[in-house]
């Protein structure tokens, strides 16, 4: 059964801390296995990829067939229902438009001493994108990972996707075509991450790796970080819904189950100030579970990690929300603005009764790749900034150096870095005294 907490009862703080510390991810120690796979790919290259694809995906592949060809992509796209392609194109247009508004401006100015200062932005040259494979993979995630990269100006976007038993969701390939992915390889798991990071004869290395995956993929991303950049190490999905008795219980129940059906380790939390309403939501959950195709997954997630938190007043919720730092936050209220102004930690915030989290998963525009496991306390969802690098610009005239250099010399000598001081003082001694 889901956890039940009540802020009005003694011991709530202890119960809440215990709830926050519940571990939802698998306890399997995969680090050693992944380290072996990464080492093997680094040393053996393509041969290791072929071996692991045969072993884990039960699919024979050669170096000539590692890449999915433009013809295969075109045939897959043509096989998809027209309404699904239209929906993907609509979503892509909205996602692209939102992310184009994120493109930052450069900074370039001259200060009062005559220093030219600023910064400029440049895209990461090559990005690898991991996409979970099989027939139950998610085309929407292809758009959410690929489009910000393309908007940022990434020249080479490489997608890896496992094809267990040789199968792939054709809509995933259609989404890749719509998003402008440059290369696609039929490999997955830790071996695909290693190939992207270190390269093989067939696959050139990239500079950054993004995209979700299982525990092995997450471990591989951790292990190759430093050789390449990564977006984040994502944990199981989560949603926190703040709702009052004016909401339709069936709507809120569906919102909670929308996260629960992702994964047995997903988490759905309801905060309300009305106990009768929460009972109606639980009843609606039971009814929905009778017909949902992924009911077994959703039921286990709700039973193992779900929670209902009863508060005396919704005014209490911002402090609780900031401690939970949820991936997704729904404020299903007539006027969410007063609470919104007081909330600091959430990956994405959905306002009002008509903005369910599922809207953000597909069509709203902001990215659905978001920080999990309370990491919204210090990180943000995927966006254009994740595919850009910022370089500082510093210039100085002789007059500018005379104005600021002496203090730099003092600080360098104070730190015992005499060559630093010398590199400035030589210029001070030799600078023209022409006021320039």
Catalytic residue, from 327, 330, 357, 368: name it: 327
Pairwise CA distance, residues 399 & 153, whole Å:
38
Pairing of strands 183-185, 208-210: unpaired
Asked whether 185 and 66 are in contact (CB, 8 A), the reply is yes
User: Of 99, 262, 288, 328, which one is the catalytic site residue?
Assistant: 328
User: What's the DSSP call for residue 154?
Assistant: -
Buried b (16+ CB within 10 A) or exposed e, 350-376: bbebebbbbebbbbbebbbbbbbbbbb
3-state SS assignment for residue 116: strand
**99 counts as catalytic:** no
Which residue, 182, 178, 200, is CA-closest to 191?
200
Q: Give the residue carrying structure tokens 């390269």.
A: 199
Q: What angle do CA 195, 201, 206 make, to 5 degrees?
A: 45
Which of 320, 236, 336, 234 lies closest to 270 in space, CA to CA?
A: 320
328 part of the active site:
yes
Distance CA 207, CA 228 (A): 5
DSSP state of 347: S
DSSP string, 180-220: T--EEES--HHHHHHHHHH--SSS---SEEE----HHHHHH
Active site residues: 327-328
């Amino acid at each position: 059964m889901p956890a039940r907490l009540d802020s009005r009862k003694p011991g709530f703080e202890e119960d809440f801390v215990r709830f926050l510390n519940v571990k939802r991810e698998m306890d399997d120690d995969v680090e050693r296995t992944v380290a072996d796979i990464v080492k093997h790919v680094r040393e053996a290259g393509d041969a290791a990829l072929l071996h692991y694809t045969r072993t884990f995906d039960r699919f024979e592949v050669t170096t000539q067939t590692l890449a999915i060809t433009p013809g295969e992509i075109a045939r897959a796209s043509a096989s998809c229902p027209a309404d699904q392609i239209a929906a993907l194109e609509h979503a892509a247009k909205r996602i692209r438009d939102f992310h184009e508004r994120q493109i930052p401006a450069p900074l370039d100015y001259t200060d009062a001493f005559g220093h030219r200062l600023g910064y400029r932005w440049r895209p990461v040259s090559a990005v690898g994108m991991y996409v979970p494979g099989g027939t139950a993979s998610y085309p929407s995630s292809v758009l959410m990972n690929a489009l910000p990269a393309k908007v940022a100006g990434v020249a080479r976007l490489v997608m890896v996707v496992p094809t267990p038993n040789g199968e792939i969701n054709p809509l995933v390939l259609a989404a890749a075509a719509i998003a402008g992915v440059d290369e696609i390889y039929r490999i997955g798991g830790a071996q695909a991450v290693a190939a992207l990071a270190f390269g093989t004869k067939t696959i050139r290395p990239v500079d950054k790796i993004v995209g979700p995956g299982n525990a092995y993929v997450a471990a591989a991303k951790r292990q190759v970080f430093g050789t390449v950049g990564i977006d984040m190490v994502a944990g199981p999905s989560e949603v926190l819904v703040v709702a009052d008795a004016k909401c339709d219980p069936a709507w809120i129940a569906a919102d909670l189950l929308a996260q629960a059906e992702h994964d047995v380790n997903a988490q759905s939390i309801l905060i309300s100030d009305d106990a009768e309403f929460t009972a109606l939501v639980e009843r609606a959950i039971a009814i929905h579970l009778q017909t949902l195709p992924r009911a077994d997954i959703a039921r286990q997630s709700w039973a193992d990690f779900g929670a209902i938190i009863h508060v005396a007043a919704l005014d209490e919720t911002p402090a609780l929300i900031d401690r939970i730092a949820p991936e997704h936050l729904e404020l299903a209220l007539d006027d969410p603005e007063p609470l919104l102004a007081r909330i600091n930690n959430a990956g994405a915030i959905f306002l009002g009764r008509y903005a369910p989290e599922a809207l953000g998963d597909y069509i709203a525009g902001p990215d659905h790749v978001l920080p999990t496991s309370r990491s919204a306390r210090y990180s943000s969802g995927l966006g254009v900034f994740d595919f850009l690098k910022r370089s500082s610009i510093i210039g100085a005239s002789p007059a500018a150096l005379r104005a600021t250099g002496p203090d730099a010399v003092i600080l360098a000598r104070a730190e015992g870095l005499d060559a630093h001081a010398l590199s400035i003082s030589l210029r001070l001694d030799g600078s023209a005294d022409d006021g320039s």
